[in-house]
Chains A and B, each alone.
Chain A
Amino acid sequence: MKNKQYKLDIAPGVVLALFSILYLARVPSIQEFTGLGSTPLTNRFVPYLWGSVLLLLSLWITVRGLRKRKRYLAEGGKPQKTDILGALKERWEVVASFVALALYVGFMDLLGFVITTIVYVFVQILILTPKEKWKKTYLPAVIVSVVSGILLFYVFRYLLNVLLPVGLLSVFGL
Chain B
Amino acid sequence: MSAIMQGLTAVIQPMTIVLVAIGVAVGIVFGSIPGLTATMAIVMFLPVTYSMTASEGISMLMALYIGGISGGLISAILLNIPGTPSSVATCFDGKPLADKGQAGKALAVGVIFSFLGTIIGIGLLVVLAPVLCDFALKFQAYEYCALAVFSLSMVIALTGRDMPKGLISAVMGALLATVGLAPIDSRPRFTFGLYQLNNGFALVVLLIGLFAISEVMKYAETVRQKQDFTIRENVKIKGVGITFKEFIGQIPNAIVSALIGVGIGILPGIGGGVSCMISYTVSKNTSKRRDLYGTGIIDGVVASETANNGTIGGAMIPLLSLGIPGDAATAMLLGGLQVHNVAPGPLIYQKSGDVVYAIFFAMVLAAIFMMLFMLLGMRFFVTVLKVPKNFLLPVVVVLCAIGAIGNANMLFDTYTMVAFGLMSYLLIKSKIPTVPMILGFILGPTFEQNLRRVSQLASSDPFWHHPIFCVLIAATVLVVIFSVRANIKDAKRAEAKEAAELAENGEQ
Contact = CB atoms under 8 A, between A and B. Distances in A.
Interface string B411-424: 10011011001100
Contacts of B341: none
Contact of B189 (A43, A106, A120): A43
A1 B502 contact: yes
A50 B223 contact: no
Contacts of A53: 167, 171
Contacts of B189: 30, 43, 47
Nearest to A137: B390
Contact of A129 (B48, B51, B223): B223
Contacts of B213: 101
Given A12-B430, A160-B48, A101 B397 contact: yes
Nearest to A93: B220
Given A33-B185, A129-B223, A144 B174 contact: no
B456 interface: yes
B219 interface: yes
Contacts of A98: 217, 418, 421-422, 425
Interface residues of A, number: 71
A169 interface: no
Interface residues of B, number: 69
Contact of A148 (B398, B426, B501): B398
Given A40-B455, A128-B389, A128-B393, A46 B402 contact: no
Q: By CB atoms of chain A within 10 A, which of B414, B422, B505 has the most?
A: B414
B12 to A, nearest CB: 23
Q: By CB atoms of chain B within 10 A, which of A97, A129, A145 has the most?
A: A97
A156 B402 contact: yes
Interface string A137-149: 1001100110011
A43 B448 CA distance: 9
Given A101-B418, A160-B48, A94 B217 contact: yes
A48 to B, nearest CB: 10
Nearest to B440: A50
Given A32-B187, A50-B174, A104 B401 contact: yes
Interface string B218-250: 011101100000000000000000000000000
Contacts of A47: 175, 178, 189-190
A120 B182 CA distance: 37
A130 interface: yes
Contact of A101 (B421, B448, B453): B421
Contact of A109 (B182, B406, B411): B411
Contacts, number: 187
Nearest to B427: A12
Contacts of A26: 190
A152 B44 CA distance: 12
Contacts of B172: 16, 54
A15 B270 CA distance: 28
A18 interface: no
B398 A127 contact: no
Contacts of B430: 8, 11-12
Contact of B402 (A50, A145, A162): A162
Q: By CB atoms of chain A within 10 A, which of B401, B427, B444 has the most?
A: B401
Interface of B is mostly: helix
B167 A57 contact: yes
Nearest to B47: A162
B502 A97 contact: no
A166 interface: no
B452 A45 contact: yes
Contacts of B452: 39, 41, 45-46
B164 interface: yes
Contacts of A141: 391
Contacts of B421: 98, 101
Nearest to A161: B51
Given A40-B455, A57-B171, A128 B220 contact: yes
A48 B274 CA distance: 34
B455 A39 contact: yes
B261 to A, nearest CB: 32
A168 interface: no
A98 to B, nearest CB: 6
Contact of B220 (A16, A94, A106): A94
A130 B224 contact: yes
Contacts of B426: 12
Contacts of A61: 164-165, 168
A163 interface: yes
Contacts of B498: 1-3
25 contacts: A8-B430, A16-B172, A23-B175, A30-B187, A30-B189, A39-B453, A46-B447, A47-B178, A47-B189, A47-B190, A101-B213, A101-B397, A101-B418, A108-B411, A109-B411, A124-B397, A125-B390, A128-B394, A129-B223, A137-B390, A156-B402, A160-B48, A162-B51, A162-B402, A162-B409
Interface of A: 1-3, 5, 8, 11-12, 16, 23, 26, 30-33, 37-41, 43, 45-47, 50-51, 53-54, 57-58, 60-61, 64, 75, 91, 93-94, 96-98, 101-102, 104-106, 108-109, 117, 120-121, 124-125, 127-130, 137, 140-141, 144-145, 148-149, 152, 156, 159-165
**A-B complex: 9 closest residue pairs judged by Cβ atoms:** A33-B185, A124-B394, A128-B390, A43-B182, A12-B430, A162-B406, A105-B414, A93-B220, A41-B455
